[in-house]
Chains A and B, each alone.
Chain A
């Protein structure tokens, strides 16, 4: 397939890819987008509500790139497998379906994977039906489903840092957004189930961005969400179909036991397997995500013409991704103008 007329190929149509595509097309660049799934929007497009201001994830994703954009074409169900440099310095992206596409630049906006909660087997995900991940709940809510509909006074436990900052999983990095997602989800649960009780189990809460601390206080003062500093060590089923949990309250220095109806795991972000560029796996940063050419060249990889944007580089929240994608688009445009 001859697609040499493209200025850039963007791998991934999450909010990073869409933002960069919007920026580049506004600058008159022709963009081809490759998406492995059936639809665009990435992870954010599947979130029901985004913190801290309660915007719908799908609406956010759909608002970024106008539907009919003459400069942008999108190929769904196209999984990029490798990138190679052509003799004229342009780049070729080959896909698992056998097609290859070339352009002068490639922007990697392939995002992240969700941590596989089954690897924290002690939390019982995939074994006990009452154990859900943050992703499961967001999707169910977005589809209009209502988990635990039959329960009166349902008790929820929200577990932070599942697959983040956990050496037992060989993961050192902080996934940044889950603290806030956990707080947001607690208030969301309290709104949707007014008779519910919610307890968050955290290691420490990193309320670093605008509006976060306020929502944390709001959750405690107005939604009566309990916060316990400690990790859940053990989950077992009870005879009445609930979950028996054991944890340590590290502020009181005491072991703690409880029975809950649902356990919600705040799963972290994990890096995708590195793409192969010119036959070699791409450089990775210390946390396993895509590495950049230097600490200050935040969007350029070691390969000329190959740029990277968004959470492919490591955990980011939405506003950070939007800013990073615009920066990457600017860098790409500058490179194309040379």
Chain B
């Protein structure tokens, strides 16, 4: 029942805004649901009442409220996000129970808990009333402390988060509304306490301090109006701004836990769940240059507005550093990939006939160098030495033939044509009937292992490490110092980073830079980014080459032909492939002649 005890005309802006955002959110979810394939819908229906929902709930608390992943990266930013999300959530929950306890009514109007202090000013004794009053002040204080940090962050981005994202007009408007909400609530509740008494340690104390001031009565209604309006404005702006991530991220987490596999659904949810926190800015190698901005935070902001441009789609190298740090785990590289596929005509040609192996069926190892491998014959020669030392029968499948894993075509959006290339390569590899397939290029390795399950597929770093572990080859340790550069395709994409390092430690002393492993820098030669200008690539390559030379090792080792080429052009220190470093340290006694 709506009565003067629980309604005042000033609640209308908030109520309209709140209703609007709820309807918008429901419409978004219903639209996604209707576009989802049958199989996924079935999966969701079967998963709702399982433990996966509980797991999702746990992750929602950890990520949406506490922001665990942000905490791990940056405590300052973690506290700021947590204070807003968790503080506001607790205000809503505790406020709900406060109003419920006071009225005994489960169905208070939607605005009632929010403006409780307006409708029930002063001190009232009811069950746990003192607790509720203090708790509500505590959550408000938590949010306000976060807001102070947010203000400091905007003033001094360099000392807090590195680079601050620059947001679009609608995001700035939403932010302004958001920043008004909690100080206005503090002011409204404090003035109310000043007039009627009551209030907790925060609003009550301020209320006492200002009690008796003549202006209080004339401030009372305007402040409650302003509080309601700021809430209303913020809610209306939510669907059009980055703050839509607040309600959507929960749905994204649920969809992932329920096993939704439809790429379009997940991509849409990820796009909407990006909070534009800007963590990707600090790690993106292109953020330092003068090139137009294309980092996920900007790309997704424009994509939502339907205004993403060529630079957004083609200007990313695909090194995946942004995805490594993204607190929402937005797969922006795949979102870009989908945009590329929309940009180029899709066709699926028949694969050309694969080469027929010449009487060398049944090799132990089928090797694939790939196109970049042909540009680094040193790696190939080193692998030949290692395999001869191990006494294994091997064949390079692309010795005389041009075979391609398809990745360059895939990265230019031509996935059908890429698939035709891969089909041809797959036929050629399996025709050798090898026991194991090894690629010296991590890019090809990722493509082949996704396509072939009939045989073990290894990157040569793993394969060589295995030969050493099994005692098939022996290496000697020398006084040399090495710096290992983790290729993005190997560390971040295939999660191979510790084994190459521990293997190299058997032939020399490693001097690793601070950011290595899954955090390694982009060599600048990555295959994505067809729109990255030459001078920009040079800048990236030089920066990474400089970074890798900082530890001062005698040799830089990497495990990707692209990284090798990119770094070698810009480093005074010699750059060798993993296989070359191992081949150089082979104990001669182990070479079977």
Query: Complex Cα distance A167/B565, Å?
Result: 12
The segment from A118-126, A134-142, A201-209, A303-311 that touches chain B is A118-126
Interface residues of B in 367-391 (CB under 8 A from A): 374-378, 381
User: Are the C-beta atoms of A127 and B381 separated by less than 8 Å?
Assistant: yes
A278 at the interface (CB under 8 A from B): no
B534 contact set on A, CB distance < 8 A: 167, 170
B516 at the interface (CB under 8 A from A): no
Query: Complex Cα distance A233/B373, Å?
Result: 12
Interface residues of A in 110-130 (CB under 8 A from B): 119, 121-122, 124, 126-128
Nearest opposing residue in chain B for A169, CB measure: B569
B505 at the interface (CB under 8 A from A): no
User: Are the C-beta atoms of B377 and A235 separated by less than 8 Å?
Assistant: yes
Nearest opposing residue in chain B for A121, CB measure: B376
**Nearest Cβ on chain A to B400's Cβ, whole angstroms:** 9
Interface residues of B in 541-587 (CB under 8 A from A): 541, 564-565, 568-570
B377 contact set on A, CB distance < 8 A: 121-122, 124, 127-128, 235-236
User: Are the C-beta atoms of A122 and B376 separated by less than 8 Å?
Assistant: yes
A195 contact set on B, CB distance < 8 A: none
User: Are the C-beta atoms of B374 and A122 separated by less than 8 Å?
Assistant: yes
B538 at the interface (CB under 8 A from A): yes
Query: Complex Cα distance A170/B537, Å?
Result: 9
A128 contact set on B, CB distance < 8 A: 377
Selected contact of B538 from candidates A122, A170, A233, CB within 8 Å: A170
Nearest opposing residue in chain A for B384, CB measure: A237
Query: Complex Cα distance A132/B189, Å?
Result: 85
Query: Complex Cα distance A40/B378, Å?
Result: 36
Query: Complex Cα distance A172/B376, Å?
Result: 22
**Nearest Cβ on chain B to A236's Cβ, whole angstroms:** 7
User: Are the C-beta atoms of A127 and B378 separated by less than 8 Å?
Assistant: yes
Query: Complex Cα distance A64/B232, Å?
Result: 88
Nearest opposing residue in chain A for B381, CB measure: A127
A280 at the interface (CB under 8 A from B): no
A145 at the interface (CB under 8 A from B): no
B570 contact set on A, CB distance < 8 A: 170
Q: With A167-B534, A170-B538 as given contacts, are A121 and B378 in contact (CB-CB < 8 Å)?
A: yes
Nearest opposing residue in chain B for A126, CB measure: B378
B378 contact set on A, CB distance < 8 A: 121, 126-127
Nearest opposing residue in chain B for A244, CB measure: B400
**Nearest Cβ on chain A to B576's Cβ, whole angstroms:** 10
User: Are the C-beta atoms of B569 and A119 separated by less than 8 Å?
Assistant: yes
A234 at the interface (CB under 8 A from B): yes
**Nearest Cβ on chain B to A257's Cβ, whole angstroms:** 10
User: Are the C-beta atoms of B565 and A121 separated by less than 8 Å?
Assistant: yes
Selected contact of B375 from candidates A121, A167, A170, CB within 8 Å: A121
Nearest opposing residue in chain A for B380, CB measure: A236
Query: Complex Cα distance A126/B382, Å?
Result: 13
Nearest opposing residue in chain A for B382, CB measure: A127
Interface residues on B, range: 10 to 19
B399 contact set on A, CB distance < 8 A: 236
Interface residues of A in 210-257 (CB under 8 A from B): 233-236
- Flag A294-331 by CB within 8 Å of B: 1 or 0 each: 00000000000000000000000000000000000000
**Nearest Cβ on chain A to B213's Cβ, whole angstroms:** 64
User: Are the C-beta atoms of B569 and A234 separated by less than 8 Å?
Assistant: no
Query: Complex Cα distance A233/B377, Å?
Result: 12
Query: Complex Cα distance A90/B564, Å?
Result: 45
Nearest opposing residue in chain A for B373, CB measure: A122
B568 contact set on A, CB distance < 8 A: 119, 121
Query: Complex Cα distance A146/B565, Å?
Result: 33
Nearest opposing residue in chain B for A167, CB measure: B534
User: Are the C-beta atoms of B569 and A122 separated by less than 8 Å?
Assistant: no
Question: Counting chain B CB atoms within 10 Å of each CB, which of A121, A233, A235 scores highest?
Answer: A121
**Nearest Cβ on chain B to A74's Cβ, whole angstroms:** 29
A122 contact set on B, CB distance < 8 A: 374-377
Query: Complex Cα distance A64/B541, Å?
Result: 43
**Nearest Cβ on chain A to B332's Cβ, whole angstroms:** 28
Query: Complex Cα distance A126/B565, Å?
Result: 15
A124 contact set on B, CB distance < 8 A: 377
A233 contact set on B, CB distance < 8 A: 374
B564 contact set on A, CB distance < 8 A: 121
Query: Complex Cα distance A67/B570, Å?
Result: 41
Nearest opposing residue in chain A for B561, CB measure: A121
Query: Complex Cα distance A127/B374, Å?
Result: 13
A168 contact set on B, CB distance < 8 A: 565
- Flag B380-418 by CB within 8 Å of A: 1 or 0 each: 010000000000000000010000000000000000000
**Nearest Cβ on chain B to A260's Cβ, whole angstroms:** 16
User: Are the C-beta atoms of B538 and A234 separated by less than 8 Å?
Assistant: no
Selected contact of A170 from candidates B376, B381, B569, CB within 8 Å: B569
A236 contact set on B, CB distance < 8 A: 377, 399
B569 contact set on A, CB distance < 8 A: 119, 169-170
Interface residues of A in 89-125 (CB under 8 A from B): 119, 121-122, 124
Nearest opposing residue in chain A for B375, CB measure: A122
- Flag B223-261 by CB within 8 Å of A: 1 or 0 each: 000000000000000000000000000000000000000
Query: Complex Cα distance A91/B51, Å?
Result: 80
Nearest opposing residue in chain A for B572, CB measure: A273
Query: Complex Cα distance A121/B541, Å?
Result: 17
**Nearest Cβ on chain B to A154's Cβ, whole angstroms:** 22
Nearest opposing residue in chain A for B568, CB measure: A119
**Nearest Cβ on chain A to B110's Cβ, whole angstroms:** 63
B541 contact set on A, CB distance < 8 A: 170
Query: Complex Cα distance A266/B90, Å?
Result: 73
Nearest opposing residue in chain B for A172, CB measure: B534
Query: Complex Cα distance A204/B378, Å?
Result: 29
- Flag A34-45 by CB within 8 Å of B: 1 or 0 each: 000000000000
B374 contact set on A, CB distance < 8 A: 122, 233-234
Question: Counting chain A CB atoms within 10 Å of each CB, which of B377, B378, B538 scores highest?
Answer: B377
**Nearest Cβ on chain B to A84's Cβ, whole angstroms:** 24
Query: Complex Cα distance A126/B399, Å?
Result: 20
A119 contact set on B, CB distance < 8 A: 568-569
Nearest opposing residue in chain A for B399, CB measure: A236
Query: Complex Cα distance A128/B380, Å?
Result: 12
**Nearest Cβ on chain A to B434's Cβ, whole angstroms:** 21
**Nearest Cβ on chain A to B359's Cβ, whole angstroms:** 15
Query: Complex Cα distance A124/B375, Å?
Result: 9
- Flag B509-544 by CB within 8 Å of A: 1 or 0 each: 000000000000000000000000010001001000
**Nearest Cβ on chain B to A259's Cβ, whole angstroms:** 13
A170 contact set on B, CB distance < 8 A: 534, 538, 541, 569-570
B375 contact set on A, CB distance < 8 A: 121-122
Query: Complex Cα distance A236/B541, Å?
Result: 28
Query: Complex Cα distance A139/B570, Å?
Result: 28
B376 contact set on A, CB distance < 8 A: 121-122
**Nearest Cβ on chain A to B569's Cβ, whole angstroms:** 6
- Flag A127-170 by CB within 8 Å of B: 1 or 0 each: 11000000000000000000000000000000000000001111
Instruction: List, sorted by A's number, 25 A–B pairs whose CB atoms are closer than 8 Å.
Output: A119-B568, A119-B569, A121-B375, A121-B376, A121-B377, A121-B378, A121-B564, A122-B374, A122-B375, A122-B376, A122-B377, A124-B377, A126-B378, A127-B377, A128-B377, A167-B534, A168-B565, A169-B569, A170-B534, A170-B541, A170-B569, A233-B374, A234-B374, A236-B377, A236-B399
User: Told that A121-B377, A127-B381 touch, could you supply 10 new A-B pairs with CB distance under 8 A?
Assistant: A121-B376, A122-B374, A122-B375, A122-B376, A126-B378, A127-B378, A170-B534, A170-B538, A233-B374, A235-B377
8 closest A-B pairs by beta carbon, nearest first, are A122-B375, A234-B374, A121-B376, A170-B538, A127-B378, A127-B377, A124-B377, A167-B534
